[in-house]
Structure 1
Amino acid sequence: HPGYRPESELATDFIRTVTTAAVRVYPTIIRTPTNTFFSTESQEQIVEFLNRKKITKAIPADRSIDPGELKGRGQFDWFTNDETVIGNEVKKERIREQYALVMEVLFPPQRGNRQSVFGIHCIVLDAEGRRAFSFLLNSHHQMFVDANMVADDLSNESRAELVHKATALGLDALSQHIQMARLKTPD
């Protein structure tokens, strides 16, 4: 299963319009327990994938959105809180595109010489900053487990490779969610 996608009253419109819509893609947010970073490499990977697969017309944003400190007691809280903060920024920005997409990659506290990805958020909002098609992935989902996003060293190169793998997984999950929703969406 490609992750957990909470209900959204805008999902049907998103599915009906995504191929002809424009989506502003922001730099990916990388979260560790102590820091927030931004990845334009991941952003470029997302834009390239969405355009190549003709999923939508993806346009890179020239600035990142900082959602601030992680708030909440667990991944679903972090997901919904970050989605709200990002949504407020998107609304304030008055984007021309119909949708905005921000991916988040979460790293847990490091254990020894090992780093791993703990979760992935794919936040998809309409131009008003409301949830359109957001979802999250973690170790409760088999495709996440199968991706084995672990590195046995603490190098920046390994972290970048993990972010690349997480981005690819998030995009695969997004494609699957769209395909599944299309089957349920009447024309």
Structure 2
Amino acid sequence: MKNVITYPVSARGPADHEVRDQIVAAATEHFSRYGYEKTTVSDLAKAIGFSKAYIYKFFESKQAIGEMICANCLREIEAEVKAAVVAADRPPEKLRRMFKTLVDAGLRLFFSERKLHEIAAAAAIGHWQAAHAYEERIQKLLHDILQEGRQNGDFERKTPLDETAMAIYLVMRPYLHPLLLQHSFDYTEEAPAKLSGLVLRSLSP
């Protein structure tokens, strides 16, 4: 994962302070090597070369640092998903690409950046604001695709839109939730195509 700073989550000090960005970048590297759960703020301070008290000037806790790293990671996944959706011409293909990209991105995080996956898992267990906001944005993207499909006649219009969007999101959720994904590895190659196909058949006008 790139060390891209996006926006503060439970951060202290001036919003544009460069030291905060340094802490987040160094923490991302440290957590990538040693894991989130096993690292204390004292460990992090020693690795970065700052005092623990100085880190607390910018973050109220280890979780606050983890939240910002988690937010950065989720923003990258979201950008990848949006790019895949925008590249498709019609809503059915947008839905297919959304599902596949979410699965691919989740698998990459789990297998390629396993230590950072710990942060995503902690975010899911602890209901962190960063994870909640990400789920809301993904649901909004799905809602917009369905709405577009209804407007141009690709999807049925009888079922309430919010109900349809939530039902499809619940189908997707086992493959985008970090804790549920690890129990679905046997199906990740075929799930995006088969489940999106099933969903699209249910959406036929």
Which structure's residues are more often helix, by fraction? 2
TM-score by length of structure 2 reads: 0.25
Provide the TM-score with structure 1 as the length reference: 0.27
User: Over alpha carbons, which structure has the higher Rg?
Assistant: 2
Larger RCO of the pair (alpha carbons < 8 Å, separation 6+): 1
